[in-house]
Chain A
Amino acid sequence: MDVRPGYFDEMYGDGSALRAPYRQYEEWFAREDPRRLLKKSADAEALFRRTGITFNVYGSEEGDERLIPFDIVPRIIAAREWARLERGIEQRVRAINAFLHDIYHRQEILRAGRIPKEVIADNDAFLPEMIGFTPPGGVYTHIVGIDLVRTDDNDFYVLEDNARTPSGVSYMLENRETMLQMFPELFTRSRVRPVSEYPRDLRSSLAATAPVRTSGRPLVAVLTPGIHNSAYFEHAFLADQMGAELVEGHDLSVVDGRIAMRTTEGPEPIDVLYRRVDDDYLDPLTFNPSSLLGVPGVMDVYRSGGITIANAPGTGIADDKAVYSYMPEIIDFYTGEKPLLQNVPTWRCSEPDSLAYVLDHLSELVVKEVHGSGGYGMLVGPAASKREISRFTRKLKASPANYIAQPTLALSTVPILTRNGLAPRHVDLRPFALVSPNTIRITPGGLTRVAMKRGSLVVNSSQGGGTKDTWVMED
């Protein structure tokens, strides 16, 4: 396979030699009949379609269901590499939780002048209702998905911290399940660390943050916006896998000061609500009064100590893109350590000098909306046409504080299987961290997203990206 010049390939490095973590896999691959593998690849697709893993694409006309492409070549991470990532993620997640507690209490980091007050004061992601309130167990972000990219043998960057309701973990689990079914022999040759503990860990980690008054086994429920949500499959899947109830807003109501679920034996109070509904829609009494997805009164029950909401409302202030640029400060301030994982250098367009630089270098930069996600509303300079750039220039000038800009990173590639054999495609990685009062558990693996189009650096599934199984090797 030819690697893309100028880009690090995780299987072949700069193209001169096979990298160690892929040795066993390559031996196996070399002996396989490519036609059999292509056939398997088609089987995998059929399997996913049968299981029902599809997702709705936002912005597409009919909101039609689409299958996320799956590639059968695993993304392989050596034990030593993973150990480093794990430490870096843990440090970051600890810092994020300390930051959230501080920002909703004494705001020492603002008093110390390490973050300008305006970054928080003018930010819609800051939720006043959380001021002075400490969530059960002191945990704000029960589940965090940290998006990483790799640029060479040694360098990983954090692209963003997903601290609200990170999705994608069902792909991590299903991708592995599929690989185990299709290529069991691979897993006897290679010692790949399992990811199957995730649902159990998720449950025990959520249960460990149940309100103090809970007696017996805590009742955990997954709150979904419903079947029309793009991640509904994942909500149902996780509820099933961890033995939790799957509920919608209209199944719940306030009973005896708690949030109770309707059952045939009468209302049953919920201890931990793993909600996959955004803050704004969570409670029409406190937030958006027109929301039909939420549970009226849940914020009041929460603030009186009657339920745990995971993740806590208001965690968006920690993964906001404007706040992201201060992550090195945040880590240093709360842990007293240097960040183990690098931040991508970020220009804040709210600052006049930065804006001037960004406008001059649009064709080299990636510009993102501060509050956007999913790859919507962003400009990838090197791939943009002149017209797109001039259109974006106008948007930028109109509301500079709405944007940040970053250099286009030389994202690493991992081969995918094509009709013509292996071909390099760009990838990122979203590992998942589970936070309970005393521990942070990071599942060895994660979601590898891959840009299926040759040369594309956009891996988002909404933009045609696919996924791969992610292997973390035993020592």
Chain B
Amino acid sequence: MQLSIAHTTTYRYASPVRSGLQELRLRPRNGANQTVASWELTLEGAEHQLSFDDHYGNRVDLVSLTPGTTEIQVRAQGVVDTLDTAGVAARHVGHTPMWFYLRSTERTEVGRGVRGFCEQVQTEDDDVNRLHALSGAIRDGVAYRPGESHVASTAEEAIEVGAGVCQDHAHVFIAAARHLGHPARYVSGYLLMGNTVEQDATHAWAEAWIDGLGWVGFDVSNGISPDERYVRVATGLDYRAAAPIRGVTYGAGDESLEVELQVQVGTGGQQ
């Protein structure tokens, strides 16, 4: 399937920026499930400084905010050809060892809630079945409901509230999978949803390592493994590590954020 994506993020600042840096993880890479036909980043109010590959294999762009600006815009757009690989995203590339993906982070710390989900699926003896059961149990226990959580919410907090968004679902899944001994990671990306072109937000799901298969995706929010409607952009131990944009800003006062996202089949007029 050919997907055309246009993703614009706008930050507005209450007072002119003195200085600031943003790390962008906004470049999908080629993999088993996707080939990038074209991709472009454009900036307003910021200047591109450098690019490098981080230890997860993400392509990172560092941009600096233009001093004095009160608004920056980051636009990522392009065309990606996707395949349905039954959720199997990739073999492992790079030197990051599997044990690293068993590390817990602030957002994926294991508490009573996560342990509860683990207990529910312990009887499954096949890895794939156990992880699918886990995904189902989380979906039943943590309703998809925007507005109940925030970017810094932890897995345990989402379970406590009993609701969250795709980010929270992914965190709960990752925390539980690791607790069960499966290396797991967070994936940020795009999803073609329903019949609408306009999407509310970028998507997030989880991947777990299964011996013999590789990294396998689990989208708890939609109760499926990713198919040809999904585009992987960045991975990491949790949201913080894989976030599309993360940075430091000095002297900007309050900031507001607006995301505009279009995902559609075909080239969408893009070359």
A: which residues have CB within 8 A of B? 104-107, 110, 117, 121, 128-133, 253-254, 256-257, 284-285, 289, 296-297, 300-301, 303-306
A106 touches B62 (CB 8 A): no
B19 contacts chain A at the CB level, 8 A cutoff: yes
Distance (whole angstroms) from the CB of B65 to the closest CB of chain A? 11
B49 touches A256 (CB 8 A): yes
Supposing A128-B96, A284-B248, A285-B21 touch, asked if A297 and B55 sit within 8 A by C-beta, the answer is: no
A285 touches B96 (CB 8 A): no
The residues of B that contact A131 with a CB separation of less than 8 Å are 55, 94-96, 100
Supposing A129-B54, A285-B247 touch, asked if A253 and B95 sit within 8 A by C-beta, the answer is: no
Which residues between 78 and 111 of chain B lie within 8 Å of chain A, taking CB atoms? 94-97, 99-100, 102-103
B21 touches A296 (CB 8 A): yes
CA distance A253 to B97 in the complex (A): 33
Please tell me the size bucket of the interface on B.
20 to 34
Distance (whole angstroms) from the CB of A41 to the closest CB of chain B? 51
A132 touches B55 (CB 8 A): yes
Q: List 17 A-B contacts (CB under 8 A).
A: A107-B95, A121-B99, A121-B102, A128-B55, A128-B96, A129-B55, A131-B55, A131-B94, A132-B95, A133-B55, A254-B49, A289-B248, A300-B23, A303-B54, A304-B50, A304-B62, A306-B50
B100 touches A297 (CB 8 A): no
B51 contacts chain A at the CB level, 8 A cutoff: yes
Q: Which of A117, A132, A285, A306 contacts B23 (CB 8 A)?
A: A285
B: which residues have CB within 8 A of A? 19, 21, 23, 49-55, 60, 62, 64, 94-97, 99-100, 102-103, 247-248
A304 touches B51 (CB 8 A): yes
Q: Which of A132, A254, A257, A304 contacts B96 (CB 8 A)?
A: A132
The residues of A that contact B49 with a CB separation of less than 8 Å are 254, 256-257, 297, 300-301
- A289's nearest neighbour on chain B, judged by CB, is B248
The residues of B that contact A129 with a CB separation of less than 8 Å are 54-55
Distance (whole angstroms) from the CB of A229 to the closest CB of chain B? 23
B96 touches A297 (CB 8 A): no
B95 touches A105 (CB 8 A): yes
B95 touches A297 (CB 8 A): no
The residues of A that contact B247 with a CB separation of less than 8 Å are 285
- B247's nearest neighbour on chain A, judged by CB, is A285
Q: Which of A257, A284, A289, A296 contacts B50 (CB 8 A)?
A: A257
The residues of A that contact B50 with a CB separation of less than 8 Å are 257, 300-301, 304, 306
CA distance A459 to B19 in the complex (A): 46
CA distance A133 to B56 in the complex (A): 12
CA distance A133 to B57 in the complex (A): 11
CA distance A456 to B19 in the complex (A): 52
The residues of B that contact A301 with a CB separation of less than 8 Å are 49-50, 62
Supposing A131-B95, A285-B248 touch, asked if A297 and B21 sit within 8 A by C-beta, the answer is: yes
The residues of A that contact B94 with a CB separation of less than 8 Å are 131-132
- B57's nearest neighbour on chain A, judged by CB, is A132
The residues of A that contact B53 with a CB separation of less than 8 Å are 132, 303
| 8 cross-chain pairs, A with B, having the tightest CB-CB distances, nearest first | A257-B50, A131-B55, A304-B52, A304-B50, A303-B52, A132-B95, A300-B62, A121-B99
The residues of A that contact B103 with a CB separation of less than 8 Å are 121
A104 touches B95 (CB 8 A): yes
Distance (whole angstroms) from the CB of B103 to the closest CB of chain A? 8
The residues of B that contact A256 with a CB separation of less than 8 Å are 49
- B20's nearest neighbour on chain A, judged by CB, is A296
Interface centre among A104, A304, A305, by most B CB within 10 Å? Answer: A304
CA distance A133 to B95 in the complex (A): 9
B99 touches A254 (CB 8 A): no
Supposing A104-B95, A296-B21 touch, asked if A254 and B55 sit within 8 A by C-beta, the answer is: no
CA distance A301 to B63 in the complex (A): 11
CA distance A306 to B51 in the complex (A): 11
B100 touches A128 (CB 8 A): yes
Distance (whole angstroms) from the CB of A315 to the closest CB of chain B? 16
CA distance A105 to B95 in the complex (A): 5
Supposing A106-B95, A257-B50 touch, asked if A300 and B60 sit within 8 A by C-beta, the answer is: yes
Q: Which of A107, A254, A297 contacts B97 (CB 8 A)?
A: A107
The residues of A that contact B100 with a CB separation of less than 8 Å are 121, 128, 131
CA distance A37 to B96 in the complex (A): 60
Distance (whole angstroms) from the CB of B202 to the closest CB of chain A? 21
A254 touches B64 (CB 8 A): yes
